[in-house]
Chains A and B, each alone.
Chain A
Amino acid sequence: MGKHIRTVNKSVLGRRKEAACGECQTSCQSACKTSCTVGNQVCLKEKKE
């Protein structure tokens, strides 16, 4: 944590275990049905471990 810059997240995309297991929910099956947003999808693989 710097004096000038506060980094909000702790994990970096691409450095996390990139499982690509295909088990997480389809984005349009959830609550939107019109606008594809994948940033808020839950990763099931990470939850299981």
Chain B
Amino acid sequence: MHCFEVHNTRLVLDAHSISLHEVDGPAWEILTGRFGGRPETVQALRERYPAAEIEGALGEIEALRDQGLLFAPDPHPNYQPPPPEAKALCLYVSHHCNLACRYCFARAGHPGAVRKLMPPGVARRAVDLLIRGSGARRRVEIDFFGGEPLLNLPVVRDTIRYARHRGAEAGKHFGFTVTTNGLSLTPEVRRFLLDNEVNVVLSLDGRPEAHDRWRRTPGGGGSHREVLPNIRDYVSEWKSGPGSRGYYYIRGTFTRQNLDFAADFRYLAEQGFRNISLEPVLAPEEEEYALSERDLPRVRAEYERLAAVYLEALRADPAARFFHFDLDLDAGSCLPKRLSGCGAGHAYLAVDADGGLFPCHQFVGQRGFLLGDVFSGVVRADLVDDFRQAHVYNKKECSGCWAKFLCSGGCHAQAFLENGSIHHPSRLGCAAMRHRLECALYVQARKSQDAGA
């Protein structure tokens, strides 16, 4: 059970049932206090509250406990992860980039960086591998990534065509996602993405000064002025186009230099964008843009500010979305999904331009994490098992944490970057994640109240 306050709202999350409760003063004191039995509780609180109020709150707490909504037992203490089965591949179709963002973890577009493009044959073998390795799953996914994937558009087109054809034969439905910096979003490319129902993640950090600080052209200039009109045009066509299409998300990164990122959310919403995600930068601590423990108070305060800004945006437009506040407490993921997390290393793999397989996009190029290739399949079963076993019940920092069914143990790459091990989560990542989740839960409480629930 986790008791917390956001904007003077007292909330209690039952960690095992994921039941969220908004409580008043007496209930808060009882749940956060360390009292023994009923008489002791009434005795301890009676100077502040009438006995009938304390008795009433105690009665409600007991009723919720009996319904399994408070003090629920851990549902899966003997959890065993399922056998490895492919679900999604991230294809580095282009290691090259037409930007040279200073915080890019792949160093794409930088002098001396690898400029490889994935040949069509490698991408096709990746599709075959996914079909072969995905067992009874019907829905499988391919994400085109890099570098800038649209620099290898012929292979993106060919892969989609090939996957649809092979998928129809094998009874698989392919979902596709492109993560792009927006520079190459010509009218023809926009049409192609919309017509093929490709999900599109558009990299845009927010205000011009926040974006241009890091997202630079190879010549060193800012890219905001060039990409914003392209992204606007894409979203405008997405909104007005007929028929079904994939989703879009505006995806920004925040760094130590824009810890006022709620202003970036506001800016992006003002541009007419509805689906927005802002992520903390993932970087070694020596980088000037890396977040550190001393930034946490500001990050925490900013997530609270963002919660208020987001609720304001939601009241103006109910279709507004901030990815990390968009929890669905009633119909979200099932428990097995929450335990398997991102699936990196066993259900989700990344493929480099030569066909090398890695546990996820963040590990691409790290030879110690090379799992095999698309021609021969996975040969490092030991590494796959290591990732399978890196779940919340096997991490001592996670097993007793209230957030374990909401974050699934965090990002393996961030854990490895900070601790040199995927079995110990990032302290910094956990602290930011926990408060972001508190704010997300606060948003759900306010939304349900606004809806009259």
Contact = CB atoms under 8 A, between A and B. Distances in A.
B17 A12 contact: yes
Contacts of B327: 39-40
B159 interface: no
Interface in B384-406: 405-406
* From B20, B53, B411, B414, residue with most partner A Cβ within 10 Å: B411
Interface in B304-348: 323-324, 326-338, 341-344, 347-348
A25 to B, nearest CB: 7
Contacts of A42: 328, 331-332
A39 B19 contact: no
B194 interface: no
Contact of A5 (B17, B27, B199, B333): B27
A34 B414 contact: yes
Contacts, number: 213
A14 B361 CA distance: 31
Contacts of A40: 323-324, 326-328, 332, 440
Given A4-B57, A8-B20, A38-B406, A31 B26 contact: no
Interface string A1-36: 011111111111111111110111111111111111
B445 A8 contact: yes
B342 A26 contact: yes
Interface residues of B, number: 88
Nearest to B344: A28
Given A4-B26, A8-B445, A44-B139, A39 B333 contact: yes
A39 B405 contact: yes
A29 B88 contact: yes
B251 A31 contact: yes
Interface string B38-74: 0000000000000001001100110110001100100
Contacts of B88: 26, 29
Contacts of A18: 334-336
A42 B91 CA distance: 23
B337 A24 contact: yes
Contacts of A4: 23-24, 26-27, 53, 56-57, 60
B408 interface: yes
Contacts of B449: 6
Contacts of B75: 13-14
The residue among A4, A25, A42 with the most chain B CB atoms within 10 A of its own CB is A4
A29 B277 CA distance: 13
A39 B27 CA distance: 26
Given A23-B138, A39-B338, A5 B407 contact: no
Contacts of A7: 19-21, 64, 69
B337 A11 contact: no
A9 B360 CA distance: 33
Given A27-B341, A40-B327, A33 B409 contact: no
B201 interface: yes
Contacts of A8: 20-22, 329, 441, 444-445, 448, 453
B418 interface: no
Contact of A10 (B16, B72, B330, B407): B330
B201 A20 contact: no
Nearest to A44: B139
Contacts of B414: 34-35
B437 A6 contact: no
B348 A26 contact: yes
B300 to A, nearest CB: 15
Given A36-B409, A39-B338, A22 B330 contact: no
B13 to A, nearest CB: 9
Contact of B331 (A3, A33, A46): A46
B348 A28 contact: yes
Given A13-B19, A24-B333, 4 more contacts: A9-B18, A22-B137, A38-B338, A44-B139
29 contacts: A5-B57, A6-B21, A6-B23, A8-B329, A9-B20, A13-B335, A15-B17, A15-B68, A23-B138, A26-B348, A29-B143, A30-B323, A32-B251, A33-B251, A33-B279, A33-B361, A34-B413, A36-B342, A36-B408, A36-B411, A37-B408, A38-B341, A38-B406, A40-B323, A40-B324, A40-B328, A42-B331, A43-B332, A43-B334
Interface of A: 2-20, 22-47
